[in-house]
Structure 1
Amino acid sequence: MPRSLARSAGPLPENGAMERLIDFSCERHMLCGGCGHRFVVDLEWVDRWEQGREECPGCGLTCEHEDAPLVTVDPDDPALDDTLVAQFAWYHTSTQPDWPTTESNPAAGLTPVTRRMMGGDERVAAWAARQRAKALHVGTYEAAVHNMLRRICDQADHCSQFYMYRVHLKPFVGVRDGWLIDPSNFVGDVDHEEVCPPGVDVARYLNYHEDPGGLSLALGREAIASVQRVAIPIPDAWDDDWVREVGAALESASDVLGPATGRLTRFRPPSSQRTALGRDLGRALAGKLPINLKDGFVSAARFDEGSDPEQWARRASGMLGLIENPGTVLAALDEAGHREV
């Protein structure tokens, strides 16, 4: 589905925010830095490109070149319309149950030991000031799911409880002209004042990492009117029949540790038949997803030794439901109350 269709705005629902059609498989717009050629590709092309198996159709540059094509914004993305930015529903995933937190002092919960390890009160105060200066991030529903999978894979959040937030902006926020290249530093932080100077409440930026090519927002807490929250995965998002069948199969599989098999066995810890089955089942679920989500999903749905079979099955099926059936999540958010920020 072309991205212009995937990003078309829907009717104004009762909750007062416009939804955009969710499409994890939409095509991506590319722009070559070498010859300026713009072209549209599917996710399979992007995957081959990242492996050096595709080239710019205009000049032949491959991904190894400094000026190689990069994903860019769809010129028909409705979020480019300044008047629509505040009307759209925006999304965020977090392990914080009260995002955006009302805590005005990020250092309030630090223990004396931690304060000493950070270099004392002066350095702690400077760190807290930097934390308060960071911009918040919201994006498309797809970007929020990508963000959750990335955090599970890269930030040791495999066992963390995640929440999906639907974010409603204040109706008259000041929107920065145009859009920025992703301004995040290597840890994903953005200085709010750098991207939102006086008179600007939100800045659009091209997201390279989560829903690549989509527009996300950097903003301050004061630009948000309210949020709705659901814990994910939600019960309606998982397949009850699959959960019962898989849970029973895992329960019946042996959990006795045995020697690893296959190549490089000496580098692998002992595992059980149950764990091997669970990981095979996780890979099978990932096989249903767009190619750019497969690896992240396999890691996020990993079955570990000692995992509870039914609990794992609910979580794995529920995460798949976030992607395959996002309507269940939106329906749950419709039922959730608004929390003013």
Structure 2
Amino acid sequence: MERLIDFSRDRHMLCGSCGQRFLVDLDWIHRWEQGQEKCPGCALTCEHEDAPRVIVDPADPALDDDLVARLSWYHTSTHPNWPPKNFDPAASLTAETRQLMGGDRQVADWATRQKRKALHVGTYEAAIHNMLRRIDDQADHGSQFYLYRVRLEPTVTVRTDWIIDPSNFVGDVMLDEVCPPGIDVVRYLNYHEDPGGISLALGKDAIAGVQRVAIPLADTWDESWVRNAVAALKNATANVAPATGKLSRFRRPSSPRVVASHEPEALRELCADLARRLPANLQNQFTSATAFAEGDHPVRWARRTSGLFKLIEDPGRVLATLDTADRRNV
């Protein structure tokens, strides 16, 4: 069962001071985070501890216990076989690393804690947002990402109601701390990706199967945009004066990244135009995640940038591709 995908939908807010509930768009939230908006009930601004915060949509189908296992859930990862069948977090540790961690006993304890961590799935919007955040924050600029559509076991037991996002500062949740015995899945209000949406923390046993596609999808880019971006890079490179003098033969040639950081206004405007067409809460991360880096191939970079944009602009094509993907039982 698919939900309507809408990155730009209005969000519900709840003020912790006066109890006012109200509906806003993402531009309002952006202004509010800059201190430019106030609670319509008590005029608190964002810096106050009890200021309004995003809250779940009371009409969200994920609030229906009977629908949770029937909904499609999503996850993005750089791992081509998520979740792994035989997860051994210590398998890749070198002997030196094991020694630095204190020896085999400490490594075994660490591995046990890693296995206790919950898996996370959420809306399509949350999965794409999470990917952009990882590219931006975790140096995954050159990594291949995969989008997973997750089907839950129909017999899962869902914890009553929902909780505030229980993740720690690195995004980890210990499953046994949020799912008491007999509970397989907990719903939580996601503050960070797709704010206001419901995400799930769960164990691998709660997942029946997954379908996977590599993203961005091949051949989904806007060829006209790609041509213009590549031309802007080439023009910028061509306009760099060659080095002269006795030391010029020892200098490395200028890369498009070096040129792009100083000259090509046309390229910056092309990228800014894409970002402006996105919801306010995605613009900065999209801009950072798609920055042209030294060593990038101009055509590949332009196609990837346009393809990432299409994941947000045309999710229907992604879902159609997932429909044809093989299902892997977990």
Does the TM-score normalized on the shorter chain lie above 0.5? yes
Q: Report percent identity of matched pairs.
A: 65
User: Which is worse superposed, 74-83 or 248-257?
Assistant: 248-257
Count of residue pairs the alignment pairs up: 313
Root-mean-square deviation (Å): 1.7
How far apart, in 1, do the equivalents of 2:20 and 2:234 lie?
55
Q: Aligned pair 1:201/2:184, yes or no?
A: yes
How far apart, in 2, do the equivalents of 1:334 and 1:111 lie?
40
The answer for the alignment partner of 1:326 in structure 2 is 315
Following superposition, the deviation at residue 126 of structure 1 comes to 1.4
3-state SS, counterpart of residue 17 of structure 2: coil
> In the alignment, residue 319 of structure 2 is paired with which amino acid?
L
Following superposition, the deviation at residue 255 of structure 1 comes to 6.4
3-state SS, counterpart of residue 178 of structure 1: strand
User: Which of these residues, 285, 290, 299, is aligned with residue 274 of structure 2?
Assistant: 285
How do 1:156-175 residues align onto structure 2 when only pairs under 5 Å count?
156-175=139-158
3-state SS, counterpart of residue 271 of structure 1: helix
The answer for the alignment partner of 1:271 in structure 2 is 258
> In the alignment, residue 164 of structure 2 is paired with which amino acid?
I
Q: What does the per-residue CA deviation read over 1:58-77, in whole Å, with 9 as the maximum and x for residues that have no partner?
A: 11111111111110011111
Q: What does the per-residue CA deviation read over 1:285-315, in whole Å, with 9 as the maximum and x for residues that have no partner?
A: 1111111110000011001233211000110
3-state SS, counterpart of residue 148 of structure 1: helix
3-state SS, counterpart of residue 93 of structure 1: strand
Larger Rg over CA atoms: 2
Q: Aligned pair 1:339/2:322, yes or no?
A: no
How do 1:190-269 residues align onto structure 2 when only pairs under 5 Å count?
190-254=173-237
Does the CA contact (< 8 Å) of 2:148 and 2:210 recur in 1?
Answer: yes
Does the CA contact (< 8 Å) of 1:86 and 1:170 recur in 2?
Answer: yes
How far apart, in 2, do the equivalents of 1:205 and 1:321 lie?
28
Q: Aligned pair 1:150/2:137, yes or no?
A: no
Stretches of structure 2 that go unaligned for 5 or more consecutive residues are: 242-256
Following superposition, the deviation at residue 198 of structure 1 comes to 1.4
The answer for the alignment partner of 2:298 in structure 1 is 309
The answer for the alignment partner of 1:84 in structure 2 is 67
- Greater RCO, 1 or 2 (C-alpha within 8 Å, sep 6+): 2
Does the CA contact (< 8 Å) of 1:55 and 1:61 recur in 2?
Answer: yes
Could you tell me the TM-score, scaled by structure 1's length?
0.88
The answer for the alignment partner of 1:15 in structure 2 is none
> In the alignment, residue 208 of structure 2 is paired with which amino acid?
A
The answer for the alignment partner of 2:252 in structure 1 is none
Stretches of structure 1 that go unaligned for 5 or more consecutive residues are: 1-17, 259-269
Does the CA contact (< 8 Å) of 1:82 and 1:175 recur in 2?
Answer: yes
Following superposition, the deviation at residue 171 of structure 1 comes to 0.9
Could you tell me the TM-score, scaled by structure 2's length?
0.91
